[in-house]
Amino acid sequence: MIRQYELVDRVKAYDPSVNEDRLNRAYVFALKAHGSQTRASGDPYFSHPVEVAGILTAMKLDEASIVTALLHDVVEDTNTSLDEIERLFGPIIRQLVNGVTKLSLVEMPFNDDASDLSDANKQVENLRKFFLAMSEDIRVLLVKLADRLHNMQTLHFIKNPEKRRRIASETLDIFAPLAGRIGLNDFKDQLENLAFAELQPDANRFISDKLHEHQINEEDLIKAIGVELTDRLQQQSLTVTVQGRMKTPFSIWKKMQRKNVSFEHLSDIMAFRILVANLAECYQALGVIHSSYSTVPGKFKDYISTPKSNGYQSIHTSVIGPRKHRIEVQIRTQAMQEVADRGVAAHWSYKDGVPIKSDRSFIWLRDLVEVINS
């Protein structure tokens, strides 16, 4: 479990002006409020909000988000009131904690077998409440996604298999797509793979084992391809960082289902990311890659000239690369990588806990709420 001083140090690393006193008070308050409560794992319950807060520090979220993560379960699971939260931590924290609590209390609308109109209407109403709670402040959603991620990481401790499957289905149907929608691609991948492992354990085990074999057998190949790509680009006076990896089990399973092929017949399980200094060099690097290797038809996307709604920018292409291996290549700047890593959080800034910059990647959610409410 992350210790109090460690959490403060993590936040100070990216925000030296953080209110250490409020962070420390929130840590101690939540520790005392949860008291002797335990999780399904047998660990002290307080370990959960601390881990959620730790996940958010990796996203470099503001102090209010970290405090909210520490306090996000105290209203629902202890005798703490929202008035007490406001008195001790201020109105912004009250609003955020209340938003996360509302999300937790909404009965999730995942029943595909609504037997009558009343069931269907209930699902629509729950969905409306769900999105309405999220739309109050994007940080509410970010805390909730981190909460869900840690719950999925510890899902195996829940003994009831039906409950595990319900939580995994919720994650795959709602939370993973939401994470992707606001640009948290790493969150999305983790949530998908954790849910996949619960819902399709045999398929997950088979693909994971295959990927492990490939990683052992082809680790040198990934390095060699990375070296060749780097050399080609450096020959054109480009300073680049090339990163190679295997694709995720869930993404491979989806491709196997979509193409109706076996794992052995998949030709592009390796992906490479090329980081360059500026926008112009993105297109220069693309020219080098396309002039050096044969392209795969229909596999080119320019998300720089036409960014995704969540602000994501990158060039995606697939080529028959070094050693005749088909590979996916993503080309972007370091600033674009920051957005790809942190999603919507990379666009928002705060002053005294109040958002001061409108974020276009969150507009879709507000528009959706207006449609649902109309």
CA 337 to chain CA mean position, Å: 14
Close Cβ partners of 107 (under 8 Å, ≥ 6 residues apart): 126
55 token code pair: 């996940």
10 Å CB burial of residue 121 (0-12, 13-18, 19+) is: exposed
CB 63 within 8 A of CB 8: no
Rounded CA separation 239/216 (Å): 29
For 289, the 3-state DSSP assignment is helix
Rounded CA separation 109/117 (Å): 14
Q: Tokens 């994470």 correspond to what residue? A: 179
Rounded CA separation 320/76 (Å): 54
Kind of pairing, strands 294-295 and 270-276? unpaired
Rounded CA separation 130/148 (Å): 15
CA 122 to chain CA mean position, Å: 28
Rounded CA separation 69/72 (Å): 5
Rounded CA separation 273/241 (Å): 8
The candidate with the shortest Cα–Cα distance to 354, out of 138, 148, 98, 156, is 138
CA 251 to chain CA mean position, Å: 15
Active site residues: 76-77
For 358, the 3-state DSSP assignment is coil
CA gyration radius, the chain? 23
Rounded CA separation 325/293 (Å): 10
Rounded CA separation 229/223 (Å): 10
How would DSSP label each residue in 21-71?
HHHHHHHHHHHHHHTT-B-TTSSBTTHHHHHHHHHHHHTT--HHHHHHHHH
Rounded CA separation 34/80 (Å): 10
